[in-house]
């Protein structure tokens, strides 16, 4: 006979449903509600549920148009339109970060419950980030979808969908860690442009992203331990196999240390 806890709905199918949603605001709200429901004990985690992948992941709105990175126009942050384009690019990253966190929750079976709880928390925090940026875009006379965007974050999510170890190595520890490096220079430009509200939003995002990268580091090392492989030696072959971008300086070493990178890993950045 089912116990009270096993009678509760499992959060992982609901994460998959949220991933399929196409409206960004609805998706963000769904991620926040799932995290609230899990913390309130209204949903449970079933690590062993095997879920079939539906077509068309992730759910996306019709805009923004997705183009190769090299086709994105460079705009000055010292104009309102240029600043909006810059913040739109960050909002697009945060929207995709909701997707990748939800994907980690539903896709990978058989992991500790803490894995799913961690990534659902990440999805909720990315949803908050997206909302902050979207509201600031509105104050600049724009909305999410007004500018073209690229699909690099989800492309790597797709490449690593059959290998949770590669996913942890190359999405949070590589692509999201780039945000730790990129944020302070962006903040400096926004500060010179006088957009202190945007600087404050990026302060919040940077603080949370250190935690998100730390979650990726923790699970990467846990998975390496389970596989009996060395985390530092395993990274470069995974990056080469999946064609991960090489990190570019300047590096935010303080934030990377706070996120759990070792001194050897920081030295290997070059």
**Digits of tens for pLDDT over the chain (270 positions)?**
444 456 799 999 999 999 999 999 999 999 999 999 999 999 999 999 989 999 999 999 999 998 887 777 777 888 999 999 999 999 999 999 999 999 999 999 999 999 999 999 999 999 999 999 999 999 999 999 999 998 888 899 999 999 999 999 999 999 999 999 999 999 999 999 999 999 999 999 999 999 999 999 999 999 999 999 999 999 999 999 999 999 999 999 999 999 999 999 999 997
Q: Are 214 and 260 in contact (CB under 8 A)?
A: yes
- Rounded to two decimals, what is the model's pTM? 0.95
**CB environment 227-264: b (16+ within 10 A), e (fewer):** eeeebeebbeebbeebebeebeeebbeebbeebbbeee
- Encode pLDDT of 213-236 as tens digits: 999 999 999 999 999 999 999 999
Two structure tokens written together for 22 = 């196409």
Residue 70 per-residue DSSP state: G
């Amino acid at each position: 006979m089912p116990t009270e806890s096993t009678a509760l709905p499992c959060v992982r199918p609901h994460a998959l449903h949220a991933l399929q949603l196409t409206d960004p605001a609805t998706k963000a709200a769904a991620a926040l509600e799932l995290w609230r429901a899990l913390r309130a004990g209204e949903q449970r985690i079933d690590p062993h549920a095997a879920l079939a992948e539906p077509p068309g992941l992730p759910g996306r709105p019709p805009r923004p148009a997705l183009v190769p990175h090299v086709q994105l126009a460079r705009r000055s942050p010292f104009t309102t339109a240029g600043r909006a384009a810059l913040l739109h690019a960050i909002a697009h990253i945060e929207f995709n970060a909701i997707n990748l966190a939800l994907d980690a929750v539903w896709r990978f079976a058989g992991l500790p419950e803490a894995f799913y709880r961690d990534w659902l928390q990440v999805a909720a925090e990315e949803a908050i980030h997206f909302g902050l940026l979207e509201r600031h875009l509105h104050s600049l006379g724009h909305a999410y979808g007004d500018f073209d965007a690229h699909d690099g974050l989800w492309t790597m999510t797709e490449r690593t969908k059959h290998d949770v170890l590669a996913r942890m190595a190359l999405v949070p520890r590589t692509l999201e860690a780039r945000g730790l490096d990129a944020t302070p220079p962006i903040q400096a430009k926004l500060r010179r442009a006088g957009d202190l509200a945007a600087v404050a939003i990026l302060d919040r995002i940077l603080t949370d992203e250190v935690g998100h990268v730390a979650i990726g580091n923790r699970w990467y090392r846990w998975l390496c331990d389970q596989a009996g492989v060395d985390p530092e030696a395993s990274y470069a072959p995974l990056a080469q196999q999946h064609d991960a971008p090489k990190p570019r300086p300047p590096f935010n070493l303080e934030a990377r240390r706070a996120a759990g990178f070792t001194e050897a890993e920081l030295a290997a950045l070059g």
